[in-house]
Amino acid sequence: MRFARGLGEDGVYGVELPDAIDPVKDSGARTVLRYADRRFSAGVVHEATETGARTMVLGFPFETIVGGKNRAAFLERALAFLAPER
């Protein structure tokens, strides 16, 4: 999966400086996406042990994922994590 880096790529604005985010040590959070060119964390998830609440944080805007099918596939997987069937 890649996201738009250049202006106008895939009809969306380019991300000039995506954020690198790291999970807090010993928090239970984990890296789920990495930037290929720098190996920094691009996405982090966490599930609270007490409540089961789940969060996902991305270092780039979702709408800049290149390709509608890629955005749909990512969203499907993200929702499966965030709101699993119980």
| Predicted pLDDT of residue 36 | 85
Closest CA to 46 of 57, 59, 62: 57
Domain span at residue 23?
9-82
Asked whether residue 3 is domain-assigned, the answer is: no
- The size of the chain, in residues, is 86
What is the value of pTM for the model shown?
0.82
Tens-digit pLDDT profile for residues 57-73: 999 999 888 888 999 99
Asked whether residue 4 is domain-assigned, the answer is: no
| Predicted pLDDT of residue 11 | 72
- CA separation for the pair 50, 79 (Å, rounded): 20
| Structural domain total, the chain | 1
